[in-house]
């Protein structure tokens, strides 16, 4: 079992054993569903999303999500090292959406801060005006 | 050989199937999590304030939720799709929220500008009103602006002939003046008595001083502090017109109140 599953055994296989080689191919195809090359695309996307989130000074507003994104990316890289590419891909995808969520949340939080400041200054003006009206006239 | 190969093949297939089962084993679906995802997305899509704000992110979330709703053989894959869809719905929500807040800014900016304008207008109005009020008070006092300040001339209606006692009606004339001075505490006054040329100069000087003092003591009686008042008798030396006629002499018999002080805007 071990030898026929190893990669090199295919090339060493004599052509007379075609049914077996067919089986081996089948088995490799089956294994391919659960293991594949490192998910470079997903990892890069995750790193880009995290960089974008960091650029947007997300840490001030949505740090849990950004922290989660960094943890997931680290876990994805660890999974690559352990050869678990499916896990790595999933973790990279999770890292990416967490980073994107951090960016979106930070944008909303910043917008809310600006709006509140605007409302406050309007309120101040109105309060001052009311006080003036009550005071001098 | 052939039969062995077939047996071998069967065994392999079985082994592989088992391997696949282990690697990608199917677990019960998580209908609750998927239902919650759909509810969250529907809520966002039916929120009139948010639904139109982040169309791309909402479409993205919709796609992710649809993918998560499809039955998966692989439990991990299913969990992954739910995880991704959950974050995408949240991303869409946050983006829509941010956009909504940004859109509100136009209105908030206008509101603030209106408040600022109102405040300035009101400030200006208040200043104008104060100036108008002061001018009205000065007009009511019949005060005339001069180099020395605002001069209120009180005619000989205050006193009987040769008397320095205020006539009962004189208080009406002086009440406006005392009200003005009580209101404008930053102003002080100089009270000057003047006579016509009938009688001796000394007598007239003394009479004019007594009359000025009478006015001063009336005003202090109304609550004005002594420091704000100066009274002097000018006698007959400062006629406003000639003393030849009775009408001229009447004009010269007078008390002048000169209002001096900080508030000069309305002068």
Chain A residues 35-74 with a CB less than 8 Å from chain B: none
Q: Are A108 and B101 inside 8 Å of each other by CB? A: yes
- Please judge whether A94 and B84 are an interchain contact, meaning their C-beta atoms are less than 8 angstroms apart: yes
How far apart CA A131 and CA B122 sit, in angstroms, is: 11
Whether A111 and B102 lie within 8 Å, measured CB to CB: yes
CA separation, residue A37 to residues A8, A11, B24 (Å): 17, 20, 18
pLDDT in tens, B34-58: 999 999 999 999 999 999 999 999 9
The chain A residue lying nearest B17, using CA atoms, is A30
- Tell me whether residues A132 and B23 touch, CB distance under 8 A: no
Does residue B264 have a pLDDT over 70?
no
B232 inside 8 A of chain A by CB = no
pLDDT band for A18, please (50, 70, 90 cuts).
low
Q: What is the ipTM of this complex?
A: 0.71
Per-residue pLDDT for A30 more than 60?
A: no
Dist CA A7 CA A27 (whole Å): 11
Percent of chain B with pLDDT over 70: 87
Counting one residue from chain A and one from chain B, the pairs whose CB atoms sit within 8 A come to 103
Handedness of CA A107, A108, A113, A119 (dihedral sign): positive
pLDDT value of residue A6: 44
Q: Bigger pLDDT: B178 or A6? A: B178
Cβ atoms of B211 and B184 closer than 8 Å: no
Q: What mean pLDDT comes out for the span B135-146?
A: 86
Burial label for B147, CB within 10 Å (0-12, 13-18, 19+), is: exposed
The CA distance from B119 to the nearest CA of chain A, in Å, is: 6
CB of B103 within 8 Å of any CB in chain A? no
Q: Do B115 and A129 touch (CB under 8 A)?
A: yes
Q: Contact A108/B108, CB-based, under 8 Å? A: no
Is the backbone of residue B194 left (phi > 0), alpha (psi -120 to 50) or beta?
beta
In chain A, residues with a C-beta closer than 8 Å to the C-beta of B57 are 104
Q: Report helix, strand or coil for B154.
A: strand
Q: Is the pLDDT of residue B219 over 80?
A: yes
Which of B123, B150, B128 lies closest to B139, judged by CA? Answer: B150
Tokens 């995802």 locate to B37
- Residue B220: pLDDT above 90? yes
- What spatial distance separates the first Cα and last Cα of chain A, rounded to whole Å? 99
Please report the residues numbered 128 through 157 in chain B whose beta carbons come closer than 8 angstroms to any beta carbon of chain A. Answer: 129-130
Per cent of chain A over pLDDT 70 is 71
Q: What mean pLDDT is predicted for residues A57-85?
A: 91
pLDDT at B137 over 90: no
Q: Do B87 and A111 touch (CB under 8 A)?
A: no
List, for residues B113-129, the tens digit of each pLDDT value: 999 898 888 888 888 98
* Residue B123 contacts A, CB cutoff 8 Å: yes
Average the pLDDT over each of A63-72, A104-113, B154-163, B192-201 and give the range with the smallest value: B154-163
Asked if the model's pLDDT at residue B86 lies above 60, the reply is: yes
The model carries a pTM of 0.58
Put simply, whether A90 touches B (Cβ < 8 Å) is: yes
How would DSSP label each residue in B66-132?
HHHHS--S-HHHHHHHHHHHHHHHHHHHHHHHHHHHHHHHHHHHHHHHHHHHHHHHHHHHHHHHHHH
Residue B22 has pLDDT above 80, yes or no: no
Q: Is B108 on the interface with A (CB under 8 A)?
A: yes
Residue B27: per-residue pLDDT: 47
Task: Round the average pLDDT of chain A to a whole number and report it.
Answer: 79
Distance, CA of A134 to CA of A126 (rounded, Å)? 12
**Cα distance from A134 to chain B (closest Cα, Å)?**
11
pLDDT at residue B171 in the model: 81
With H, G, I as helix, E, B as strand and everything else as coil, classify residue B228.
helix
């Amino acid at each position: 079992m071990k030898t026929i599953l190893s990669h090199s055994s295919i090339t060493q296989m004599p052509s007379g054993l075609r049914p077996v080689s067919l089986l081996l191919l089948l088995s490799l195809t089956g294994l391919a569903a659960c293991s594949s090359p490192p998910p470079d695309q997903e990892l890069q996307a995750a790193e880009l999303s995290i960089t974008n989130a960091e650029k947007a000074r997300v840490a001030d507003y949505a740090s849990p999500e950004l922290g989660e994104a960094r943890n997931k990316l680290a876990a994805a890289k660890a999974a690559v090292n352990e050869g678990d590419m499916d896990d790595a891909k999933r973790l990279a995808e999770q890292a990416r959406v967490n980073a994107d969520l951090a960016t979106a949340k930070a944008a909303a939080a910043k917008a809310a801060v600006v709006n509140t400041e605007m409302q406050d200054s309007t309120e101040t003006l109105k309060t001052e005006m009311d006080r003036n009206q009550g005071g001098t006239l | 050989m052939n039969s062995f190969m077939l047996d071998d093949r069967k065994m392999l297939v079985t082994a592989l199937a088992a391997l696949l089962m282990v690697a990608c084993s199917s677990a019960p679906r998580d209908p609750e999590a998927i239902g919650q995802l759909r509810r969250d997305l529907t809520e966002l899509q039916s929120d009139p304030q948010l639904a139109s704000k982040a169309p791309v992110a909402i479409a993205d979330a919709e796609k992710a939720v649809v993918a998560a709703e499809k039955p998966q053989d692989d439990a991990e894959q299913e969990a992954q799709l739910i995880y991704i869809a959950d974050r995408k719905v949240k991303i869409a929500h946050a983006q829509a929220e941010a956009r909504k807040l940004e859109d509100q800014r136009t209105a908030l900016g206008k509101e603030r500008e209106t408040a600022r304008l109102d405040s300035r207008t009101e400030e200006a109005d208040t200043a104008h009103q104060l100036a108008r009020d002061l001018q009205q008070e000065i007009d009511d006092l019949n005060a005339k602006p001069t180099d020395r300040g605002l001069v209120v001339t009180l005619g000989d209606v205050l006193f009987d002939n040769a008397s320095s006692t205020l006539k009962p009606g004189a208080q009406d004339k002086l009440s406006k003046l005392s009200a003005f001075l009580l209101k404008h505490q930053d102003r002080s006054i100089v009270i000057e008595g003047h006579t016509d040329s009938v009688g001796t100069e000394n007598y007239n000087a003394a009479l004019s001083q007594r009359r000025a003092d009478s006015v001063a003591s009336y005003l202090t009686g109304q609550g004005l502090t002594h420091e704000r008042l100066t009274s002097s008798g000018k006698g007959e030396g400062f006629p406003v017109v000639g003393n030849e006629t009775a009408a001229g002499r009447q004009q010269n018999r007078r008390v002048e109140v000169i209002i001096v002080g900080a508030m000069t805007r309305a002068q």
